[in-house]
Amino acid sequence: MKKKIIKFMSFGFLGMFGCFIIFNLIGFLYAFITPKLDIKTANAFSVFDNKGNLIFQGNGNDSWVSLDNCNDNIINATISVEDKNFYRHFGFDFPRIAKAMMVNLSSKSIRQGASSITQQYAKNLFLDFEQSWKRKWKEMWLTYELEVHYTKDEILEGYLNTINYGHGMYGISNASKYYFDKEVKDLTLAEASILAGIPNSPSDYSPVDNYNLSKERQKVVLSRMYNNGYINEKEMNDAYNQELVFKNDDFGNGLSSLIYYNDAVMAELNSINSIPKSYLDTGNIRIYTTLDINAQKALEQGLEKNAVNKKVETSKVMMNPKDGSIIGLIGGINYGNSQFNRAINSYRQPGSTVKPFLYYRALENGFTPSTTFFSKPTTFYFDNKQTYSPKNYGGIYANKEISLASAIAYSDNIFAVKTHLFLGEDELYDTLRKVGVTSKMEKSPSLALGTYELSIYELAAAYSSLANGGKKVKPHLITKVVDKMGNILYEYVEPREEIVLDSDITFLISELLTSTYDVNLVDYTYPTCFSMASSITHKYAIKTGSTDTDSWVVGYTPEIVFASWAGYDDSSDIPTEVIAGNKNSWITSMEAYFKEKDATWYKTPKNIVGMLVNPITGNPVVSNNENKKILYYLKGTEPNIVKEDKNVKKN
């Protein structure tokens, strides 16, 4: 019986493989009747930062090098490690595909790939990095077209001029100059074998970032060159042992995460309807962005503090709150391991990061920083006989009345839900819509605890309205797109100013968010960001948010808003180490960004008054022994020596 099953599976596999071959023959016949694609202009694009510096160049004619000017070292190294049968197949290496399918089926995992150089080149002819079946189909048809309309040498030349060699270097000419300050024809065997090993995983095999890994990869390249008869054993060993002299110790921006930013730029580019599709297909465009290299460097420094284990992922966005321009972005830990860009494609529960908008609305409706509620385990009962029993993180409760100021510092869930229900469920919902949250939300008691999903773009934009004094902003990365003749195809125009929040109350919220790391709020528990306090050298407004599956830190100054998420892609529960790592990552990046510049703070509005109070009780200070902090109030709402708060009924 077992033999019959194996025989049946074998016939089934052969049948599938036979259909695959027939389908590909049809594909080649179809390719004959399609127009010839100009491979020297397809995907020709340049991306610039906010100072006009080139950060990416894909298939640019200025850096195109002919195969005649590429010496045998780089040609043979590339063919050996990527596609040894390149000159003997017609775009698809069927025996290699069959072998990879068998290995992957038997192991029930992806152990082997079988993409040919032609297939990889077809993939490089895209301006975007979207992972979809539609794109896979287009890559396949392009593979047919390349093989039908171009010679093998022309395909190899195109591949070498468009492949990613890390650090934003596309094409062998850019890579050769970047790493070794050499023309491609002058590369030694040792240098060529190092470069040929990078494209498989640019972030892992960059000799700048991971020299030891790049040497291991070089050994693989040289070994395959030896096995394929391109070099002898002595040449293989000599090349591996040769000391490599890189261009210099300053590798430009040296940012492996920039590919996530470029990814987001291309996604935005494809969404701009005013640019004719023909320009995106034929390329030769210059894209000017909002990227601040210093912000991106700061994000990468923080990224190093975020790695708890290889499965923990992250997304990070730094935004200018004045206009919504995204000055830094990271969509994952390692692009080589995962091309999924969480900064533009992921939606997660924001947790307690929504509370500043709840308390903004409360302050608008008569609450003050001294308003109190009793914090204890509470079950809420509703007319439909349903109940809701929110829990505080770690099961920690004050079991006494606490002020709104301390509720923010401790991120007290009981206080938040009481406030939410006191105001009415419409209030927070409407406020979130005002500041630009468009994701699906339901008006419910749990809305106050962030139990819906949104993107990091939405969250950063919402916080920008707090940071800029109430103006709604539109997140964007592209400022201008220009064609090869210098014609402006697109230029970002800031939307008409829309004030959605009151500037006096956003000032109060900003000040209250400094309580999250203030020693004067240490009482029955610690403020949520207290572990970050020793690393903080500037004044920041900070709020954390933690669910079972998500860790958030969002904060700002008048200059920037910075949102950072960490968690698992499969929404598994996160350990406390992930939360701690995300906090460390956030403050490391924030401090790095402001290392060479001053972080300003807000001027106190005329309608605001400061008062020294006990921030936990909300009462004015009467004893030198009690906790004390200056809290700010709308004039006329500050507490009296004998505390009175007639606006809110306590329960």
Q: Give me the DSSP letters along 27-45.
A: HHHHHHTSPPP-TTTTT-E
Catalytic pick among 46, 63, 80, 82: 82
Cα gap 404→372, rounded to integer Å: 6
Give the long-range contacts of residues 179-182, CB within 8 A, separation 24 or more.
179/207, 179/208, 179/246, 179/247, 180/245, 180/246, 180/247, 181/247
In 496-624 the beta strands, taken as DSSP E runs, fall at 541-546, 550-556, 561-568, 608-613
Give the residue from 463, 593, 629, 613 showing the smallest Cα distance to 541.
Answer: 463
Rounded Cα distance between 565 and 456, Å, is 8
Cα gap 463→354, rounded to integer Å: 9
Q: Is 596 a catalytic residue?
A: no
Site of tokens 């089926």: 105
β-strands 285-289, 45-48 pairing: parallel
Whether 216 is catalytic: no
Distances (CA, A) of 570 to 350, 449, 567, 576: 16, 21, 9, 17
3-state SS assignment for residue 372: strand
The stretches of 341-383 forming alpha helices (DSSP H) are 342-345, 355-364
Q: Which of 63, 173, 257, 352 is catalytic?
A: 352
Are 494 and 603 in contact, with CB atoms under 8 Å apart? no
Tokens linked to 3: 């033999």
Structure tokens at 75: 């040609």
Q: Give the residue numbers annotated as catalytic, written as ranges.
A: 82, 352
